[in-house]
Amino acid sequence: MSHEDCIFCKIINGEIPSAKVYEDEHVYAFLDISQVTKGHTLVIPKVHTKNIFETPPEVAKELFARVPIIANAIRDAYQPLGMNLLNNNERAAEQSVFHLHIHLIPRYGEGDGYT
């Protein structure tokens, strides 16, 4: 179920190109176009849901179940020292794309540019 004006739905269906990190029947993960650190990745459900407030638990369950798998794939590829997970919901919380997404932000120690 895709939302016609949603850029992340367009990324899932290939209308907008992306650098794929992981994909299965429920989830798509790709590099953020604006890398706050090397390997900054977004994990999204394939079903369109605006944000955490509108997400059915079953969709959240499938999404969050993939996060450790994707986090480890990023860790293997980029060798960060740590990783932040971030999820913004609604404009007041700096959500700018209204398709639920989890940021995976690899951390490389002091001076990695992310504050």
The 36-65 contact track toward ligand 5GP, x by CB under 6 A, reads ------x-----------------------
- For the residues of the chain, what is the DSSP string, one character each? ---TT-HHHHHHTTSS---EEEE-SSEEEEE-SS-SSTT-EEEEESS---SGGG--HHHHHHHHHHHHHHHHHHHHHH--SEEEEE---SGGGT--SSS--EEEEEE-STTSS--
By CB under 5 A, is residue 98 in contact with Zn ion? Answer: no
Q: How far is the CB of 15 from ligand 5GP (least distance, A)?
A: 11
Q: How far is the CB of 86 from ligand 5GP (least distance, A)?
A: 7
By annotation, the residues acting in catalysis are 101
Q: Which residues bind Zn ion (CB under 5 A)?
A: 3, 6, 8-9, 48, 99
